A and B are shown apart, each in its own frame.
Chain A
Amino acid sequence: MGVKINVTVNGKAYSHDVEPRTLLVHYLRDTLLLTGTHVGCDTSSCGACTIHVDGIAAKSCTMLAVQADDCEITTIEGMAKGSDMHPLQEGFKECHGLQCGFCTPGMIMSSADLLSKNPNPTEDEIRHALEGNFCRCTGYHNIVRAVQYAAEKMAVEV
Chain B
Amino acid sequence: MSNRYIGKSIKRVEDKRFITGKGKYTDDMVLPQQTYAHIVRSPYAHALVKKIDISAALAIEGVVAVFTGDDIRNAGINGVPCGWQVNFKDGTTMKEPSHPLLVGTGDTIKHLGDAVAVVIAEDRNIAADAADAVEVDYEVKNAISNPFEAVQAGATPVHPEVAPNNIAFDWTLGNPRDEVDAAIAASHHVTTLDFINQRVIPNAIEPRVAIGHYDTTSEKYTLYTSTQNPHLIRLMMSAFVLGIPEHKVRVVGPDVGGGFGSKIFHYTEEALVVWASKQIERPVKWTSERSEAFMTDAHGRDHVTKAEMGFDKDGNVMALRVKTYANLGAYLSLFAPAVPTYLHGTLLQGLYTTPKINIDLVGVFTHTNAVDAYRGAGRPEATYLLERLMDLGALEMGMDPADLRFRNFIPPFDGVTQPGYQTQVALQYDSGNYEGVLKRGLEMLDYKGFREDQKEALKNGKLLGVGFSTYVEACGIAPSAVVGSLGARAGLYESAQVRVQPTGKVSVYTGSHSHGQGHETTFVQIVADKFGIPMEDVELIHGDSDTVAFGMGTYGSRSLAVGGSAIMKSIDKILEKGAKIAAHKLEANIDDLEFNEGKWTVKGTDKSISFGDVSLTAYVPHVYPEGLEPGLDFSSFYDPANFTYPFGCHIAVVEIDPETGKVKLKRFLAVDDVGNVINPMIVDGQIHGGLAQGIGQALFEGAIYDDNGQLINGSYMDYCMPRADDLPMFEIDRTVTPCPHNPLGVKGAGEAGCIGSTPAVVNAVIDALWSGGHQVKDILMPLTPERVWRAMQ
Q: Which residues of A contact B (CB under 8 A)?
A: 19, 21-22, 26, 29-30, 33-43, 45-46, 48, 75-77, 79-80, 85, 89, 92-94, 96, 98-105, 108, 123-124, 126-128, 130-131, 133-144
Name which residue of chain B comes closest to A22, CB basis: B125
Chain A residues with CB below 8 A from B516, complex form: 99-101, 137
Query: 25 A-B contacts, Cβ less than 8 Å apart?
Result: A19-B125, A22-B125, A30-B30, A35-B25, A35-B27, A35-B28, A42-B290, A42-B715, A45-B716, A45-B717, A77-B20, A92-B19, A93-B12, A99-B258, A101-B14, A101-B17, A124-B725, A128-B724, A131-B723, A131-B724, A136-B204, A136-B260, A140-B723, A140-B727, A142-B685
Name which residue of chain A comes closest to B716, CB basis: A45
Chain A residues with CB below 8 A from B260, complex form: 136
Chain B residues with CB below 8 A from A34, complex form: 21
Other-chain residue from A79, A138, A144 in contact with B689 (beta carbon distance below 8 A): A138
A76 touches B716 (CB 8 A): no
A136 touches B689 (CB 8 A): yes
What are the nearest 8 A-B pairs in CB distance?
A36-B21, A102-B257, A101-B18, A139-B692, A100-B516, A45-B716, A99-B516, A76-B21
A139 touches B691 (CB 8 A): yes
Other-chain residue from B17, B18, B291, B724 in contact with A130 (beta carbon distance below 8 A): B724
Chain B residues with CB below 8 A from A143, complex form: 724
Alpha-carbon separation in the docked complex, A103 to B260 (Å): 15
**Closest CB-CB distance, A48 to chain B, in whole Å?**
6
Chain B residues with CB below 8 A from A98, complex form: 15, 18-19
Other-chain residue from A19, A85, A124, A144 in contact with B19 (beta carbon distance below 8 A): A85
A93 with B517, Cβ < 8 A, contacts A21-B125, A35-B28, A136-B689 known: no
Chain A residues with CB below 8 A from B459, complex form: none
B620 beta carbon closer than 8 Å to chain A: no
B641 beta carbon closer than 8 Å to chain A: no
Chain A residues with CB below 8 A from B729, complex form: 123, 141, 144
A40 with B207, Cβ < 8 A, contacts A101-B18, A127-B724, A139-B688 known: yes
B689 touches A36 (CB 8 A): no
Other-chain residue from B25, B205, B685 in contact with A96 (beta carbon distance below 8 A): B685
Other-chain residue from A36, A43, A102, A108 in contact with B205 (beta carbon distance below 8 A): A102
Q: A19-B125, A35-B28, A101-B18 are in contact. List 19 more A-B contacts (CB 8 A).
A: A38-B25, A41-B290, A48-B205, A76-B19, A96-B11, A96-B684, A99-B516, A100-B515, A101-B14, A101-B255, A124-B725, A126-B724, A127-B725, A130-B723, A131-B725, A133-B723, A138-B685, A140-B692, A140-B723
Name which residue of chain A comes closest to B693, CB basis: A136
Name which residue of chain A comes closest to B682, CB basis: A96
Name which residue of chain A comes closest to B16, CB basis: A93
Chain A residues with CB below 8 A from B15, complex form: 92-93, 98, 101
Other-chain residue from B27, B715, B725, B730 in contact with A43 (beta carbon distance below 8 A): B715
Other-chain residue from A42, A93, A105 in contact with B289 (beta carbon distance below 8 A): A42
B386 beta carbon closer than 8 Å to chain A: no
Other-chain residue from B11, B28, B205, B725 in contact with A93 (beta carbon distance below 8 A): B11
Alpha-carbon separation in the docked complex, A92 to B14 (Å): 12
A135 touches B717 (CB 8 A): no
Chain B residues with CB below 8 A from A144, complex form: 724, 729
Name which residue of chain A comes closest to B257, CB basis: A102
Count class of interface residues, chain B: 35 or more
**Closest CB-CB distance, B527 to chain A, in whole Å?**
21
Interface residues of B in 484-525 (CB under 8 A from A): 515-518
Chain B residues with CB below 8 A from A41, complex form: 290, 715-716
Other-chain residue from A42, A105, A123, A136 in contact with B721 (beta carbon distance below 8 A): A136
Other-chain residue from B257, B688, B722 in contact with A142 (beta carbon distance below 8 A): B688
A103 touches B685 (CB 8 A): no
Most B C-beta atoms less than 10 A away, residue of A96, A133, A136: A136
Name which residue of chain A comes closest to B21, CB basis: A36
A38 touches B206 (CB 8 A): yes
Most A C-beta atoms less than 10 A away, residue of B205, B260, B715, B721: B205
B12 touches A96 (CB 8 A): yes
B19 touches A75 (CB 8 A): no
Chain B residues with CB below 8 A from A45, complex form: 715-717
Alpha-carbon separation in the docked complex, A141 to B669 (Å): 13
Alpha-carbon separation in the docked complex, A42 to B28 (Å): 17
B203 beta carbon closer than 8 Å to chain A: yes
B566 beta carbon closer than 8 Å to chain A: no
Alpha-carbon separation in the docked complex, A39 to B204 (Å): 12
Chain A residues with CB below 8 A from B517, complex form: 99
Interface residues of B in 229-258 (CB under 8 A from A): 255-258
Chain A residues with CB below 8 A from B482, complex form: none
Alpha-carbon separation in the docked complex, A140 to B12 (Å): 17
Other-chain residue from B23, B124, B693, B725 in contact with A101 (beta carbon distance below 8 A): B23
Interface residues of B in 682-740 (CB under 8 A from A): 682, 684-686, 688-693, 715-717, 721-725, 727, 729-730
A108 touches B19 (CB 8 A): yes
Name which residue of chain A comes closest to B694, CB basis: A139
Chain A residues with CB below 8 A from B690, complex form: 139
**Closest CB-CB distance, A146 to chain B, in whole Å?**
10
Other-chain residue from B20, B688, B716 in contact with A89 (beta carbon distance below 8 A): B20
A37 touches B21 (CB 8 A): yes
Chain B residues with CB below 8 A from A136, complex form: 203-205, 258, 260, 689, 692-693, 721
Chain A residues with CB below 8 A from B16, complex form: 93
Interface 1/0s, chain B 91-118, versus A by CB < 8 A? 0000000000000000000000000000
Other-chain residue from A29, A43, A48, A141 in contact with B688 (beta carbon distance below 8 A): A141
Chain A residues with CB below 8 A from B22, complex form: 36, 77
Interface residues of B in 244-289 (CB under 8 A from A): 255-258, 260, 287, 289
Alpha-carbon separation in the docked complex, A144 to B685 (Å): 13
Chain A residues with CB below 8 A from B682, complex form: 96
Most B C-beta atoms less than 10 A away, residue of A29, A30, A45: A45
A100 touches B723 (CB 8 A): no
Chain A residues with CB below 8 A from B17, complex form: 101
B723 touches A139 (CB 8 A): no
Chain B residues with CB below 8 A from A80, complex form: 20
**Closest CB-CB distance, A71 to chain B, in whole Å?**
19
B681 beta carbon closer than 8 Å to chain A: yes
Name which residue of chain B comes closest to A141, CB basis: B688
Interface residues of B in 650-691 (CB under 8 A from A): 681-682, 684-686, 688-691
Interface 1/0s, chain B 728-768, versus A by CB < 8 A? 01100000000000000000000001000000000000000
**Closest CB-CB distance, B29 to chain A, in whole Å?**
9
B716 touches A43 (CB 8 A): yes
Chain B residues with CB below 8 A from A124, complex form: 725
Name which residue of chain B comes closest to A135, CB basis: B205
Chain B residues with CB below 8 A from A142, complex form: 685, 688
Alpha-carbon separation in the docked complex, A21 to B725 (Å): 34
Alpha-carbon separation in the docked complex, A36 to B255 (Å): 12
Chain B residues with CB below 8 A from A141, complex form: 688, 727, 729-730
Alpha-carbon separation in the docked complex, A79 to B19 (Å): 9
